[in-house]
Amino acid sequence: MTARSPLEKVQSSEKTLERLMLIIPGFRGYKLREQRREADRIVRDYIYRALQHSRDDLMSCFQSLSDAKASELIEPMNRLIAKLDTVAEEINRASYGYSGFFDSIKVEEPELDNMLAYDTQLMDLARKINDSISGFKNDLSQGKLENTRTTQQSLDNSIDTLESAFEQRKAVIEGVKV
């Protein structure tokens, strides 16, 4: 059984009336754009939830460091939590690819497809961050503090990579970068 893309899932969940409306001239393009935006919203909601879970795990790491009285490691952890929370909120509040009637750059199906593909790549970055933080949390829960600074720096770099990739999203939507 093959996994379906978010776009395919949205399209297959359409009601019968909506399917009939797809044959109305002009409505089909509108509806297909809406399906792409909905699929993108689903992907970004997933990313947001994954990052929130990662943030909760970082909070647990913070508590472990606090309990271990590792005061020199607490402030970098606090900055990591704040940075991850900021990136998660940016992703949560980002545009769904709408353009106004008078906007000079129109967001059409190819740009929406690029946006969806790009957001799917962001999902992979969020998963890697989540996996790294889970491993870090396990190490700290076992009292392994020796690699904490290195792990914090690695996580900081990973969050920076995610944030940078997300900032490039607007260019992807506008078709400037693919």
Nearest to 165 by CA among 110, 126, 132: 126
| Structure tokens belonging to residue 18 | 């909506």
Give the 3-state secondary structure percentages of the chain, helix then strand then coil, rounded to 5. 75, 0, 25
Q: ∠ CA 66-52-162 to the nearest 5 degrees?
A: 100
Say how many domains are in the chain. 1
Asked if residue 60 is part of any domain, the answer here is yes
Asked if residue 55 is part of any domain, the answer here is yes
Q: Say what the pTM is.
A: 0.74
- Please name the residues in contact with 97: beta carbons below 8 A apart, sequence gap of 6 or more: 33, 36, 37, 40, 107, 111, 112, 115, 173
Asked if residue 3 is part of any domain, the answer here is no
Neighbours of 52 (CB within 10 A): 15
- pLDDT for position 178: 42
Could you tell me the mean pLDDT of each successive run of 10 residues in the chain, 178 residues long?
A: 68 59 58 73 89 96 91 93 94 65 50 75 92 93 89 96 86 58
What does the DSSP 8-state code read for residue 1?
Answer: -
105: left (phi over 0), alpha (psi -120 to 50) or beta: beta
- pLDDT for position 120: 80
Asked if residue 153 is part of any domain, the answer here is yes
- pLDDT for position 103: 42
Asked if residue 21 is part of any domain, the answer here is no
- pLDDT for position 29: 61
* Rounded distance between C-alpha atoms, residue 84 and residue 163, angstroms: 9
Asked if residue 15 is part of any domain, the answer here is no
